Amino acid sequence: DIQMTQSPSTLSASVGDRVTITCRASQSISSWLAWYQQKPGKAPKLLIYKASSLESGVPSRFSGSGSGTEFTLTISSLQPDDFATYYCQQYNNYRTFGQGTKVEI
């Protein structure tokens, strides 16, 4: 099984900050990685797929990079609506999620 490890688990930031979340895979997954945003009581929302492709309608302040085993999600200038939990997910072999990163004030 492919394990996904996110860091940090919690991130304290302020509006306007540049935020970076890291996701590491236990083996190479090429670029088969997605990022989701989840707010309390809501379903996850797709942000990024294939490591760096921005889903339609997602603000351009979100970006993804990486390949192989190491990936990052970057929010260039944190907005009030961005305080949420973020998950990475591999879809190279079955599907596995990271444990999540909570972005808080």
Partner 1 sequence: EVQLVESGGGLVQPGRSLRLSCAASGFTFDDYAMHWVRQAPGKGLEWVSGISWNSVSIQYADSVKGRFTISRDNAKNSLYLQMNSLRAEDTALYYCAKVPGPVGLYYFDYWGQGTLVTVSS
User: What is the distance, to the nearest Å, from the Cα of residue 52 to the centroid of all Cα atoms in its chain?
Assistant: 10
Interface of this chain with partner 1, residues 43 to 82, rule: CB under 8 A: 43-46, 49-50, 55
Give the other-Cβ count within 10 Å of 78's Cβ.
Answer: 19
- Asked whether the beta carbons of 45 and 36 are under 8 A apart, the reply is yes
User: What is the distance, to the nearest Å, from the Cα of residue 77 to the centroid of all Cα atoms in its chain?
Assistant: 15
Q: How far is the CB of 37 from partner 1 (least distance, A)?
A: 11
Tokens of 47: 């942000």
Count interface residues toward partner 1 (CB under 8 A).
24
Nearer to partner 1, 14 or 56 (CB): 56
Q: Which residues in this chain contact partner 1 in the complex, by CB under 8 A?
A: 1, 32, 34, 36, 38, 42-46, 49-50, 55, 87, 89, 91-92, 94-100
